[in-house]
Amino acid sequence: MDSKIKSHGIHFVSQEMQLGAPKELFLHNGEYHLFYQAKENDQLIHCKHAISKDLENWHQATKTNELDSLGSIGVWSVVVDQNNQSGLASDNPTFIGFYTNTSSKAESKNRNFKSINLAISTDDGNSWLKKPEYDIQLYNTNSDIRDAKVIWHEEMQRWVMLVLSGYHVQFYFSDDLLNWEYFYEFGNKVDEKKGEWTDLEFFQIGVDNSNNKYWVLFVSTTEGAPNNGSGTQYFVGEFNGFEFNPITHKPKWVDNGSDNFAGVGVTNYYEPEEPGYYLGWINNSKYGNSINNNGMPELYTLPRKLTLINKFNDYYLKSVPVEYNETQNNTKLPFQPQNIKDQFALGKNLELPIALNLTFDVNNRTYLDLAEVFGIEIINHQNEKTIIGYNSVRRYFFVRKEDKNKVTEKYTDIDYAFYAIDKSTLDLKIIIDQASVEIFAIDGFISMTKKCALPEGIKHLNLFAENGHVKLLNGNQTGL
C-alpha cells in the first residue's frame, strides 16, 4: 500500500484530485474497503480504493482502479464472491466490480438496452481485470441507469441487484453474479419526488434495544432535501427476497442539515451481527462549484453508527459518530455547570478538530424563563460566525452561517430541524473540523451536517442565551 491518506482534520478527503461520491463500503478479512469516485476539472474519471481497519485511518490501495473503459464514471458496486459462485476464480475470494456504459451497439433495436460491465480482482482490489464477455444486459430500465447496488440475501441464498433508473429502483436476482433476472420495481407509490434520483444504498439495520432488523433503502436526490438542494432520503421496510415493502412511502431524510449526500453503508453479508455504519458526502448541488473556491475541500462525513428507533408510530434512523481515538491532542476539558444568560466564553484560539458534548437543563420552560434561543457561537479568524442552537419557542434546532461570501450567502442563512423537546434535558454533540460542523442531538435522532470554513481554527467559542437563561448541566471539550 501507499502511504497513509492525509485527511482534512479527521475527515476523509482526496489528496490528488477532487473527491466524488463514495460508492461502496464493506468489511473483508478485518479491513474496511472503500471505493469512491474522484474527479479532475469536475469530470468523474477515476474509481479509487482505500482501506482501513478502524474507519479512521485510511491507506490508498496500490493502484487506481479505472474500471470503466471510457474513464468517465467508474465503479458503482463491488461485492466479495466469497464462495466463488461466479466461477471466475478458484483460490482466493474474488472482488467483482460492477460499472456501466450505455450501449451504442448499432444492432440493438431496443432503445432501453443497457449494459452493466464487470471487472474482477483476485488480490483484494489491488488490480483488476475487465470481463466484457460477462457484461450484463438489462432490458427493463425506464431511462438511463444512474446507479446500481449488488447485495447478498442470506435467507434466499442469492444475489440481488438494485438498479436506479429515473424514479424507479428495479430489482434483479442471480445465483452466479453473471446471469440476472428482473423481478420487482419500487418507486411508483413514493410521495414527493423531486430533482433526480442519483445514488442507491440498501442494507439491514438493527432496531435499538431489540433483536429486530429492517431493510433500509437509501435514495439520494439532487433536489427536495429538508433545507433545499440535494440530500439522502430513506425508506424503512421488509424485504423477503422478492419484494420490498416499506412501512410508509413518504421519504424520510438521513440528515436534517443541507450537506449530507450520496452516502454508503457497510455491507458485510457474511457477518450479520456487524453494526450498520454510514459514510456520507458533505456536498450539495445548490452550491454549484462556488463552494470549492472558498478553500473548502470536498470531504466525507465522519463514519456514523446507525440504528433504528420506534418513535411516533414509525421507525426512524438515529446516528452517532464512530468514536475516535484521542491520539493527537489527547485532551478533555470539562465544563463546570453554568447558568447562561447573554454570552459565556468557552474558549478562544482553539485548534481543530474538537468535539463538544453539552447537556442543558430545559425543565424550566414551564416557568417561562427558559431562553427563547440558546446554543453555541463559533467565530473564525475572519470574524465570520457559525451559530448552532435550539429555538425553544418555535421548537427547532438550527445551524446558521453568517459569512461575507456573496456567492453562497443566499444558501447558507439557516438550516432547520423541527423537534419539540419532550424531556427535561437536551443533549448536543458537535464535532467541529476545519471545513465542517456535524451536530447530533436527542441521542442522535437529530443530525445536521454543514460546510463551514475554519481553516485556521476557532477565534472565539461562546455559549449564548437570548431572552432568558439556560443552565448548562455538564459537558466537555475533547481534542480529536
The pTM of this model reads: 0.91
Helix (H) or strand (E) holding 441: strand 436-441
pLDDT at 13: 82
User: What amino acid is encoded at 13 in this protein?
Assistant: V
Q: Give residue 290's pLDDT.
A: 44
- Is-contact 132 115, C-beta < 8 A? no
The amino acid at 56: E
Q: According to the model, what pLDDT value does residue 83 have? A: 85
pLDDT value at position 57?
86
| pLDDT at residue 267 in the model | 66
**Domain residue spans in the chain?**
18-321, 332-479
pLDDT number for residue 291: 43
Whose cell is 447496488? That residue is 149
> In terms of C-beta density within 10 A (0-12 exposed, 13-18 middle, 19 or more buried), how is residue 212 classed?
exposed
pLDDT at 289: 52
Running along the chain, 480 residues long, what does each successive block of 10 average in pLDDT? Answer: 54 78 91 86 74 88 57 72 86 84 44 72 86 82 80 92 93 94 93 90 92 94 87 95 94 90 79 78 74 64 94 93 62 87 92 94 78 95 93 94 58 81 93 93 94 89 95 90
| Cβ neighbours of 122 (radius 10 Å) | 18
| pLDDT attached to residue 356 | 95
Same-fold call for 18-321 versus 332-479: no
Position 105 scores a pLDDT of 41
CATH class given for the domain over 332-479: mainly beta
pLDDT at 233: 95
Residue 242: C-alpha distances to residues 141, 155, 295 (Å): 18, 11, 47
CA distance 59 to 160: 30
Grid coordinates standing for 96?
A: 467483482
What is the model's pLDDT at position 251? Answer: 93
Q: What is the pLDDT of residue 452?
A: 85
Per-residue confidence (pLDDT) for residue 70, from 0 to 100: 43
CATH H superfamily, domain 18-321: Glycosyl hydrolase domain; family 43 (2.115.10.20)
> What is the residue type of 372?
E
Q: How far apart are CA 413 and CA 286, in angstroms?
A: 13
Cα–Cα dist 318/16, whole Å: 34
What pLDDT does residue 214 have? 94
Q: Which residues, in sequence order, are CB contacts of 90 under 8 Å at separation 6+?
A: 84
